[in-house]
Amino acid sequence: MLEWNQNLTVGIPEIDEQHERLVTMAGELDAAMRTDYATHTLRPKFKELLELAAAHFKTEEKLMEQYGFPGLAKHRQDHGAITMQAKEILEKNERDKPLPYMMGILDFVGNWLISHIQNTDREYVAYLKNSGG
Ligand SMILES: [Fe+2]
Ligand SMILES: [Fe+2]
């Protein structure tokens, strides 16, 4: 289930706030897709989610740069891969592909996002904290 919970907290307020918005929005989108088949109403939400994710990734990458986090390149790649998947959903939505297919992808991206927050993001957070950030 795509839902925000306290276990996802990393302890940097700005990042936690952004993560919460991202996960909540992905969850809303997931729920909307299951109940509303009017795909045109979902497009603006997808776009909003993509913009939010792009802004969040930028915030993180800037922080990692600032603190000289050695895993930045790998982390950036992961952000790029999530973004690609999200863009794929948007394109499929444009071509009006069957909704179950899109839901599957959204599920995948949502889980990926959560796993990214739970695992990958913790690596740079630990580094920042050790560096006095
Ligand atoms: Fe993140
Ligand atoms: Fe990240």
List, as one string, the DSSP characters of 31-94.
Answer: HHHHH---HHHHHHHHHHHHHHHHHHHHHHHHHHHHTT-TTHHHHHHHHHHHHHHHHHHHHHHH
Domain count, the chain: 1
Q: Ligand nearest 114 Cα, by number?
A: 1
- CA R_g for the chain: 15
pLDDT digits (tens, 9 = 90+) for 24-38: 988 888 777 777 655
Q: Ligand nearest 120 Cα, by number?
A: 2
| pLDDT in the model for residue 13 | 95
Distance 1 CA to ligand 1 centre (A): 18
Residue 4 domain-assigned (yes or no): no
Report pTM.
0.86
Q: Ligand nearest 22 Cα, by number?
A: 1
Domain region containing 38:
9-130
Distance 24 CA to ligand 1 centre (A): 13
Distance 56 CA to ligand 1 centre (A): 7
Residues with CB under 5 A from ligand 1 (ion): 121
Look-up: residue for tokens 């973004």? 83
Q: CATH number for the domain including 89?
A: 1.20.120.50
Distance 54 CA to ligand 1 centre (A): 10
pLDDT digits (tens, 9 = 90+) for 54-84: 999 999 999 999 999 999 999 999 999 988 8
Residue 1 domain-assigned (yes or no): no
d(CA 127, CA 133): 8
Cβ-based neighbour number of residue 103 at 10 Å: 15
Residue 34 domain-assigned (yes or no): yes
Residue 3 domain-assigned (yes or no): no
d(CA 75, CA 60): 9
Residue 2 domain-assigned (yes or no): no
Residue 94: is it exposed, middle or buried by C-beta count within 10 angstroms (0-12/13-18/19+)?
exposed
| Cα-to-chain-centroid distance, residue 73 | 18
d(CA 104, CA 87): 14
